Structure 1
Amino acid sequence: MQRPSPIETRLATELAEVRPDLVDRYTAELPGARAAVLTRLWRALAHEPLPWVARRVRGAHSLALWLADGRALHGPRADPYATDAYVTAVRLDGVAYRDPARLMTELGWPHSAGFAAELGHSVASLALSRADRELPTEEAEEWPDRDWEWEQRVVDGHPFHPNCRSRPGFSAAEQLAYGPEHRQAVRLEAVPAATGDCLLTGDWPAELRDGKDLLIPVHPWQHSHVLKGGSAGPWRDAHPLVSLRTLALDGQTHVKTALSARLTSSVRDISAYSVGAAVTLSSFATDLAARTDGLLHITRTLGAVTAGSPDLAALLRESPQAYAAPGEYVLPVAALAATTLPESPSWLAAFTRLALTVGLRLLDLGVALEAHGQNLLVVLSGTGAPLRLVYRDLADIRLSPARLRRHGITPPDLTGRLVTDDGTTLRRKLFGSLVAGALAGTAGSGPALATALEAAVRHLPATPDLTALREGPLPTKALTLMRLSPEVPGDQWTSLPNPLAALR
């Protein structure tokens, strides 16, 4: 039996204090959590351009990695689009490793110690999330009416990132209190800041004003660990969403808070650049979405503010629920895997066609969405048919002024990282998030993804972007390489085998 890691043991000790009823279930979930994270890590070792891997030898059912230092790794053949935990052990020079953190420690690559700690947190937190998930009942088959209840169904986090559930800096009590999958309301706090010291775009509601001060919503974890207390008062209860730092205030408004913790890859604070661009970007994207014949809606940013620090900032925006008619449901694509839907290839093909129609249309116009399973939502009919899409969080899209002007569209008055005319960058943004992310995570395997793509692309308008999708390798972020090379700024990328090639 696998000996628990120090991180796993520490979380178990904390759990015994706050939720002793979960300790046995947590312990029972650890092997599956290790396999889930190890599967994600093995995908990265198999497909990312890691400089410490000299050669890969793929067999019919196995994969061998020859390392630059002469050692060898052996494991199963890696399907880059599989979401089930099929890797239970990897052998390094004949020694089996079932714990991804221990494997990364033994590999001993630059920065592997820090990454191994993140993998350990990912395993422990994933086991806790699974231990506290709602057990299936007849009532659980009822689709929820409130937006945050859909988000609570996403238990495993990112379908392909080894840090899928990594929450370093969060105790067991804090994870149980703040993680959406644990189904608790969070009492947000409000920190006063002099209006003259703030950058504000859009409207800021009266309830978040106090004389000459603006009141900035703050996550309680942020207030305790980053802002270190200080002047603040309780504001409102809210329900955490998939991103953990964005919360539903009611059926109409969501608040995105600064959370200066490293979740998956990034520290989740809010930059002054994002605040300054938020409302301009929202207005432009909302107008552009009208060119999709009603297939896409953008949640409008209502207001954004920062008090001179990425650690003290917030953004208010519409709830996606505003775009669901009576009898319809709107849910993040990440929640589809945990939702009972019509079980047929035609459903997946219809959803894939809808997503690609919208994504490629906007890309041709000059906007590349980061349409992963958290940002992209789908509106379903009462019978589960995919009707249209909703997109939220514009902070990481890319705009091409040249493409926009080619279509007679005046680009918004924005500069900086959001703006690029580089075709490779634009396609990477969309294809990496939508196809290698949201669609692959929904399909669950390479063969299922290939079948859905083949059925969808034959109906799409011919564009250079569609040709690139059909004929080239599929880009995706090299998430493990990025964690092992923190000195390299920005995203790093790799290419996955094009799933359509298997059908030719």
Structure 2
Amino acid sequence: MDRHPMSDAEAALGAELGAVRPELVLPYTTALPGARAAVLSRLWRGLVHEPLPWVVRREAVGGDGVTLHLADGRRLHGPPVDPYDTAAHTSEVRLDERSHDRPARLMSALAVPHSAALAAELDHSVASLALSRANQGTAAASPVADWEWEQRIVDGHPFHPNCRSRPGFSAGDQLAYGPEHRQVVRLGLAPVEDALVVGEWPEWLRDGGRVLVPVHPWQAAHVLKSPLGEVIEAHPLMSLRTLALPDDGPHIKTALSARLTSSVRDISVYSIETSAIVSDFMAEVAARTDGLLHVTRTLGALTAGSPDLAAVLRESPQTYADTATGERVVPVAALATTELPRSPSWLADFTRLALTVCLRLLDLGVALEAHGQNLLVVLSPSGAPRRLVYRDLADIRVSPARLARHGIAAPAMSGRIITDDETTLRRKLFGALITGTLGATAGSTPVLREALSTAVRDLPRTPDLGTLLVGPLPTKALTLMRLSPERPGDIWAEVPSPLR
């Protein structure tokens, strides 16, 4: 068992914390063991379920767990893994005769290709997660605004070992910009004379003949290396680079060229160029769901010719909740912070709503990336799920062939959004909705099985539903993706269907 002092990343963040918020040093240190177990649990899930080329065989050892037989003859042993378990607490795994309780040291000991880089990210993920947990206390007890809900999400991605990895962010940066730290962020307004503007860019973001591009302060300091100048205040959302303006104002998606969990978060010129086309198209398709789905419209988007200096302005999801009657709109990722998913009937109703809407859209020809960040639910005053709201259209997939079968014109565009490949379409939806959103909301295979079994009874028996019922189900191979920098795009794994 590892009984060493703090790792380099843990110690470095702790030292920074001592300089900027010394009262958090003790809570941070206390939170480290739990953060290590949380990240190790996510990593162990990936090692057990993903198609790692250096794992030649997996063996269930009675009730004692799982043994991975590695290509070099070593054995890696740990507890049983429920792929939908969000409360897993893996305290240690054993590589041959040595036990490891720290994910970074385990990855270093495995010594597989690119493991050193991933070990550094895991180390940072642990330190950042401990900081997030250490700085809780005064989050809104009864959130009203959407950004207040997003402040309640402390642990980040429920299944990604890099759930809180924010390389390049100091302790001060995290405290200032992370939504879980509940600060107001001052966005700079960069004047640009020659920009590609799509849609309507509001007058309050113009200065004569120039447009003003909202710039995240981290981006200004570390990438653009320019002062903020004129600023506006906004509340950070769980994606960190997207922020909500006060008083239910629009959301601003900023360029933030930092690696968060898996990807460098910039805004491609392609997504700006296609933003209005995709937004108008999705408004038309959403109208075919009998009012069960709303899509936040893209109001305007612009780029100064670089992914490093761009922004998107879109409606707030609050637009689609009747707050006068007590409705609330809640990001699905925040549902785990409420009592609602603990009710089997509520979870079945929510699962039925999500499947009804998303399978209907898939049949029409649109695969939503309906993970807990993009998907929101409108709740009645009593908490009943009424409608869904979807935001951020950059990573949907659209099938012209499916659209044509329903007499719907495909959007006038090309590129990565457009595909007729059935596997790609189903992976996009099921990998986000089932093995992500619904699995994380249920929190375990038995609970998810019960909710799905109830929800699917009355759904139309489409080929897509048939695929879902038979399984296995796709899930992103999040660990393998971080160990495969030479392979761009998504890599997929399969996990057992809870219905089988």
Query: Would you say the 8 A contact 2:369–2:429 is kept in 1?
Result: yes
Query: Would you say the 8 A contact 1:151–1:335 is kept in 2?
Result: yes
Aligned partner of 1:20 in structure 2 is: 22
Matched letter for residue 235 of structure 1? V
Separation in structure 1 between the aligned mates of residue 485 and residue 104 of structure 2, nearest angstrom: 18
Where 1:239 maps in the other structure, the secondary structure is strand
Please show how residues 425-436 of structure 1 align to structure 2 within 5 Å.
425-436=424-435
1:368 equivalenced with 2:367 (yes/no) = yes
Alpha-carbon distance, 1:135 to partner: 6.2
Aligned partner of 1:244 in structure 2 is: 240
Where 1:200 maps in the other structure, the secondary structure is strand
1:42 equivalenced with 2:39 (yes/no) = no
Aligned partner of 2:400 in structure 1 is: 401
**Aligned partner (choices 93, 96, 100) of residue 90 of structure 1:** 93
| Structure 2 residues without counterparts, runs of 5 or longer | none
* Greater displacement, 55-64 / 464-473: 55-64
For the structure 1 residues 342 and 75, does the alpha-carbon distance in structure 2 shift closer, same or farther, using more than 3 Å as the test?
closer
Q: Where do 4+ consecutive residues of structure 1 move more than 4 Å?
A: none
Please show how residues 309-458 of structure 1 align to structure 2 within 5 Å.
309-326=306-323, 327-341=326-340, 343-458=342-457
Number of aligned residues: 494
Separation in structure 2 between the aligned mates of residue 53 and residue 374 of structure 1, nearest angstrom: 32
Could you list the per-position Cα deviations for residues 410-457 of structure 1 after superposition, in whole angstroms to 9, with x for gaps in the alignment?
011010000000000000000000000010110011111111111111
Could you list the per-position Cα deviations for residues 88-143 of structure 1 after superposition, in whole angstroms to 9, with x for gaps in the alignment?
1000011110110010011111111111111011100000000011268xxx54x2
Separation in structure 2 between the aligned mates of residue 204 and residue 428 of structure 1, nearest angstrom: 35
Query: Would you say the 8 A contact 2:45–2:81 is kept in 1?
Result: yes
Separation in structure 1 between the aligned mates of residue 39 and residue 252 of structure 2, nearest angstrom: 30
Aligned partner of 1:170 in structure 2 is: 169
Aligned partner of 1:184 in structure 2 is: 183
Aligned partner of 2:210 in structure 1 is: 213
Query: Would you say the 8 A contact 1:30–1:127 is kept in 2?
Result: yes
Matched letter for residue 80 of structure 1? P
* Greater displacement, 59-68 / 313-322: 59-68
**Aligned partner (choices 77, 84, 98) of residue 81 of structure 1:** 84
Alpha-carbon distance, 1:2 to partner: 4.8
Alpha-carbon distance, 1:58 to partner: 1.1
Query: Would you say the 8 A contact 1:368–1:397 is kept in 2?
Result: yes
For the structure 1 residues 349 and 164, does the alpha-carbon distance in structure 2 shift closer, same or farther, using more than 3 Å as the test?
same
Could you list the per-position Cα deviations for residues 457-500 of structure 1 after superposition, in whole angstroms to 9, with x for gaps in the alignment?
11111100000000021001111111101101111101101111
Where 1:500 maps in the other structure, the secondary structure is coil
Alpha-carbon distance, 1:279 to partner: 1.1
Could you list the per-position Cα deviations for residues 298-331 of structure 1 after superposition, in whole angstroms to 9, with x for gaps in the alignment?
0000000000100000000000001111201101
Taking only aligned residues, the RMSD between alpha carbons, in angstroms, comes to 1.1
Alpha-carbon distance, 1:234 to partner: 2.5
Separation in structure 2 between the aligned mates of residue 88 and residue 135 of structure 1, nearest angstrom: 29
**Aligned partner (choices 120, 123, 128) of residue 125 of structure 1:** 128
Separation in structure 2 between the aligned mates of residue 500 and residue 60 of structure 1, nearest angstrom: 22
Query: Would you say the 8 A contact 1:32–1:85 is kept in 2?
Result: no
Where 1:64 maps in the other structure, the secondary structure is strand
Alpha-carbon distance, 1:144 to partner: 1.4
Separation in structure 1 between the aligned mates of residue 88 and residue 23 of structure 2, nearest angstrom: 26
Q: TM-score, normalised by structure 1?
A: 0.97
Where 2:304 maps in the other structure, the secondary structure is strand
Aligned partner of 1:112 in structure 2 is: 115
Alpha-carbon distance, 1:407 to partner: 0.2
Aligned partner of 1:460 in structure 2 is: 459
Separation in structure 2 between the aligned mates of residue 84 and residue 5 of structure 1, nearest angstrom: 25
Separation in structure 2 between the aligned mates of residue 185 and residue 74 of structure 1, nearest angstrom: 45
Separation in structure 2 between the aligned mates of residue 188 and residue 82 of structure 1, nearest angstrom: 37
1:7 equivalenced with 2:30 (yes/no) = no
Separation in structure 1 between the aligned mates of residue 85 and residue 473 of structure 2, nearest angstrom: 15
1:71 equivalenced with 2:68 (yes/no) = no
Separation in structure 1 between the aligned mates of residue 489 and residue 375 of structure 2, nearest angstrom: 22
Could you list the per-position Cα deviations for residues 198-248 of structure 1 after superposition, in whole angstroms to 9, with x for gaps in the alignment?
111001111111122111000000000011115x42321000001000000
